[in-house]
Structure formats: C-alpha cells, structure tokens
C-alpha cells in the first residue's frame, strides 16, 4: 500500500513539476515571447495616435500582406497593423484593440480562411495562451477556469525541448529573421522581398495554397463567436468594420459561394465586406514564404488597391466631406 501511495505521489509531483516548469521555468523567447513584443509595439503606436484611426486585424496575413504605412499615406489617418502570427487567437487581439476604439474608427479584417473554423478549444490554446500562462497569468483569468486549465495543459514534450533550444539560442544571441527591427512603426512587416525571399522560391512553387474549404464557416462555437462579439461591440460603439479577403495564390478563383458566406457573416453583425476585383489573389511570384504572405512590393501594391476600396467606406471626420 505504501508503494501505491508512492506511485500516487509520483503522479501528483509530476503534474506539479509540469506546471512549475511551463509556468515559471522555461519559455520560448524566439517564437512565443516575441508575440508580446509585437503586440506592445503595435499598441504603443495605437496609443500614440489620435482618432479616427484604422486598425487592420487578422493574423500574419495582415502583417505581411497589408501595409498600414501605405493606408495611412493614402487615407490620411493613423493605421495600426495588428497582425502577428497565425496561431495567435483572435480574441486576444480583440481584447487589445477593443479598448482603443472610438466612434469614427475603421477596422479592416482580412481574416485568414482557416481562422473562421477555429474551435473554442483551439482559441484557448493559441500562442497567446502559452505566452500568458508563462508571463501574464492574471490575464488568462478572463477566459475563466477552462481557459486557464487549457492554457496550463497545452505543453508537450516537444514544446519542452523547443523551449530549451530557444532559450539556448537566445542566450547565444541568435535572432529570428523577423523581429521588432523588421516592423515599421505602424506594425507592418518590411524587408520581405528580393534576396530575403530567394530561399523560399521552392517553397512557394510547391506550396498547396490556402483556399476556403466547405467548412469555412462551420464550427460557429469558436472564432466566429469571438468575431461576432467584436463586430457587435463595434456596431454599438460607432466603429465601422469592413471584412475582406486574405491574400492567396491565384491558381484558382475564390468561389462566389465562399465570398457570400463571409459577406453574410459580417452583415449579420452590421459590418461591411469588400471584395477587390482580383479577390485578393496574386500570382505565386508575388508571395514571400507561405501562401498568405505577399512580398513587400506586392504588399504595397495590394494596400494601394485596398486604400481605394476602403476610401468610400471611411466614416467622415466631424465636419469632413469625402
């Protein structure tokens, strides 16, 4: 019986060690912790600028394929690119954007196709949850007990090994190819073109490409609920929201049915939806390292076109006429 209780104790200590290790000891400075630096940089710019302003909200497609610098120059109001990474949960971005919105602001949302069907559990176990469990535990409380527990138990053995590797590389001064130094002040990714894109030519040539599937807006319990709450908040607070299509390869056209589904989703919450003539689709040669990331030159062209599409939807400033 003593041996049995030793086994029970070993199990208990193991779970405790697991929580202590991932909650207090190891971290992933190169991949996970970076998202907080990015968010802080973007929010600092948002806080430093006046209203009305523009937010571009999506995942890495926003950061790589959209240029707030271009939108800002074209539309004459501050623009903050909130895109960080694909695995950052939308609701974390919403939580950070929402307090910074004011009537007359515009939020453009070219959300990636895969994000719409993300489940509630996936939302609770994104990169931000890993970051928050390690460095910002108090902020997890907003997600309730389930959110805290899911964040606490999202780490695997490979995560542990990656953490050790990243901590070692970080200590050795190794940096990722992206960082605060490759973001402009609006939060756009820059420099992802030319020689930097050369090693990815083969990847882009062989990539399958991102495309909406039949389950595009299935699974309404997760990302779509968070999106719905955010859209309702914007509608109720005089913020204009414009949904849009993410940038993808133009191998085949995005079907009308998918566009109609997305348009309906946004319309149900009083938001607009814009579709550019090219449906945000570009030749593979315009892409950088994945099927969602345009090269900088294409990013700027796309943003130019987007500015023209958004101009008529911009809420007028007090006393301003378009």
- Residues in contact with other proteins by CB under 8 A are 1, 3-4, 6-7, 10-11, 13-19, 30-31, 121, 150, 153-158, 160-162, 164-166, 169, 174, 177, 198-200, 202-203, 206, 289
Instruction: Report whether the peptide linkage leading into residue 142 is cis, meaning its omega lies within 30 degrees of zero.
Output: no
Identity of the residue, 206 or 236, whose beta carbon is nearer to other proteins in the bound complex: 206
Give the nearer residue to other proteins in terms of CB position, either 53 or 150: 150
- Write out the two tokens for 92: 């974390």
Give Dmax over CA atoms of the chain in angstroms.
82
Instruction: Considering the complex, state which of residue 36 and residue 272 has its C-beta at the smaller distance from other proteins.
Output: 36
Nearest approach, Cβ of 68 to other proteins (angstroms)? 26
| 73 vs 215 by CB, closer to other proteins | 215
Could you tell me the smallest distance in angstroms from the CB atom of residue 162 to other proteins?
Answer: 5
Which token pair is 3? 């041996």
Least separation, in Å, of the C-beta of 295 and other proteins? 13
No. of H helices and E strands in the chain? 15, 7
The DSSP-derived string for 27-41 is --TTTTHHHHHHHHH
Residue 37 beta carbon to other proteins: minimum distance, rounded to whole angstroms: 17
Residue 242's DSSP bridge partners are: 108, 272
- Kindly report each contact of residues 26-30 with a partner whose C-beta sits within 8 Å and lies 24 or more positions away, as own/partner: 26/160, 26/163, 26/164, 26/167, 27/134, 27/135, 27/163, 27/166, 27/167, 28/130, 28/159, 28/162, 28/163, 28/166, 28/167, 29/166, 29/167, 29/170, 30/166, 30/169, 30/170, 30/174, 30/175, 30/176
CB of 149 to other proteins, least distance (A): 8
Q: How far apart are CA 54 and CA 177, in angstroms?
A: 27
Least distance from other proteins to the Cβ atom of residue 133, Å: 13
Name which of 31 and 276 has its Cβ closer to other proteins: 31
- Nearer to other proteins by Cβ, of 160 and 233: the residue is 160
């Amino acid at each position: 019986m003593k041996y049995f209780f030793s086994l029970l104790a070993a199990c208990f200590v193991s779970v405790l060690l697991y929580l202590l290790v991932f909650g207090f000891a190891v971290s992933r400075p190169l991949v996970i912790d970076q998202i907080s630096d990015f968010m802080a940089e973007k929010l600092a710019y948002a806080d430093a600028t006046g209203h009305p302003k523009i937010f571009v909200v999506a995942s890495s497609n926003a950061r790589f394929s959209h240029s707030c610098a271009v939108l800002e120059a074209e539309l004459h109001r501050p623009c903050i690119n909130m895109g960080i990474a694909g695995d950052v949960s939308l609701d974390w971005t919403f939580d950070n954007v929402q307090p910074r919105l004011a009537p007359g602001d515009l939020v453009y949302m070219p959300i990636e196709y895969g994000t719409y069907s993300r489940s509630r559990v996936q939302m609770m176990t994104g990169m931000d949850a890993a970051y928050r469990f390690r460095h910002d535990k108090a902020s997890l409380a907003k997600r309730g007990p389930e959110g805290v527990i899911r964040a606490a138990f999202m780490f695997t053995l490979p995560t542990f090994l990656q953490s050790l590797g990243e901590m070692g590389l970080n200590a050795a001064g190794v940096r990722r190819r992206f960082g605060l130094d490759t973001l402009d002040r609006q939060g756009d990714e820059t420099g992802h073109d030319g020689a930097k894109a050369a090693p990815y030519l083969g990847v882009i040539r062989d990539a399958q490409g991102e495309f909406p599937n039949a389950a595009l807006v299935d699974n309404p319990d997760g990302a779509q609920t968070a999106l719905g709450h955010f859209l309702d908040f914007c509608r109720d607070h005089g913020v204009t929201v414009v949904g849009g299509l993410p940038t993808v390869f133009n191998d085949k056209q995005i079907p009308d049915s998918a566009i109609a589904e997305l348009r309906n989703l946004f319309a149900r919450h009083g938001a607009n939806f814009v579709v550019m003539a090219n449906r945000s689709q570009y030749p593979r040669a315009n892409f950088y390292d994945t099927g969602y990331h345009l090269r900088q030159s294409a990013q700027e062209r796309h943003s130019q076109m987007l500015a023209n599409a958004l101009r008529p939807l911009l809420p007028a400033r007090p006393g301003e006429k378009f």
